[in-house]
Amino acid sequence: MLFGIFRMWIGGLISLAMCVAIVLLVREWYHRLPEPSSEVVVASADGIPIHEASATSTVIGRISAWKPGFDLATACFVGAMILSFTGVGGGRLFYWLVLPHRVDDPRHERHGPVQRISRPDGSELQVEVSGQPDGPTVILTHGWGASTTEWFYLRRQLAGRYRLVCWDLPGLGKSRSPDDHNFSLDKLAADLKSVLDEAGGPAPVVLAGHSIGGMITLNFAKNYPQELGARVSGLALVHTTPTNPVKTTEGIAILTPIQNLVLTPMAYAMIGLSPMVWIMNVLSYLNGSMHRSTYKDSFSKAGTWGQVEFVSRYVFQVWPATYARGMLGMLRYDATEALSQIKIPVLVVSGDKDKVCKPEASRMLKDGISSGELVTLSPAGHFGLLSSHEEFGRAIESFLERHLGDKALSPVNVHVAEISPD
């Protein structure tokens, strides 16, 4: 969320600085090359030497005359080559070497029949239904800048007992953006309502949301209270917050005063400069700066290479203007007054090292919802649903079992009904 916009700008500017540094180093190296001899000696018929201008190109001649050594020209050349190698993938390779690897790292897979839901604002939502057709429904709403593929582990774990409805938020994944560019949390809650209406199936239904997905779920509860206890029998709020995320993220003392002076202008600049920002994002992915910030900010050093790479690759899927508009919508979000009105069972999932939505935000949710229960993943950052996916899956499954147990299918098929790739 907020770290994402800083990650895009800082990583992008670092990438541009690397490109400038490469150009300057190559320029300095060239200017320090020795000047080749500009004349050649040609013997005349009477044996008298004649000096003539060389036809050799100045550039080729200077490069041919250069001999690497312990000098500034060689240092500039080596520095340019190192930065070039880093910029075209060497930085990413570094994290591939130093981060742990696992055989079950997540993949950007999509599963199940696809349903397209057209909305009045011109957006079109992609909905995928998988799992057990006769099981109770769990609707999964992903985080901002990601897509429904972030539920890789949970879909695999729940597929044997539950009907899973996953949807891409407008403008993300394979869903189309609204024509009016409205990404307010109220609007996104209305989109969730349409998913419930069109693909939710019969009651009971549990709504689960990660990050902005949790905010959308809370706004749904605020705007459609008649659905709670009727069709919706439970909520799972994962790494999320009840209010403007600036107030519950790391660095609140700095971010709050600069929200209007820095964060908002940065978002609008990203909207206006989207093509350039997207190119900077791709450069950041290649040189590893995207992986570094993702590992530090979203995983709090608890993720594997495959998990960090998985999240970093979302940079290719999200258009910067869409990301920025969603962030602006989050800055105007507040669902704290709705917490006391929620009476259905609620599971709050926190990461003990989450920098984006600090553990205090989860405690606010637990304290504000009388029917809430809190599970803290450890060690886990904002993507604890990936790095601590076994613990996360057990918490979700236990919650569903207690509140949908008599509706769920027998657990005998949990391990054999895993989702297979398309």
pLDDT at position 122 over 50: yes
* Range of 86-95, 126-135, 245-254 with top mean pLDDT: 126-135
The order of strands in the sheet holding 114-118 is 114-118, 124-131, 163-167, 137-141, 205-210, 232-238, 346-351, 372-377
Asked whether residue 261 carries a pLDDT value surpassing 60, the answer given is yes
Helix (H) or strand (E) holding 127: strand 124-131
Domain 114-253+317-409: CATH superfamily is Alpha/Beta hydrolase fold, catalytic domain (3.40.50.1820)
Q: Is the pLDDT of residue 5 over 80?
A: no
Question: Given this model, what pLDDT does residue 416 score?
Answer: 31
Minimum mean pLDDT range among 102-106, 210-214, 215-219: 102-106
Confidence of residue 61 (pLDDT cuts 50, 70, 90): confident
pTM given for the model: 0.87
pLDDT of residue 47: 62
| 8 A C-beta contact, residue 357 and residue 241 | yes
Per-residue CA distances from 201 to 72, 148, 183, 232, 410 (Å) = 70, 19, 26, 11, 20
Indicate the pLDDT class of residue 327, thresholds 50, 70 and 90: very high
Least confident of 7-11, 118-122, 124-128, 313-317: 7-11
Average pLDDT of the segment spanning 83-89: 91
Report pLDDT digits (tens) over 362-416: 999 999 999 999 999 999 999 999 999 999 999 999 999 998 876 765 554 333 3
The residue among 272, 281, 279 whose CA lies nearest residue 324 is: 272
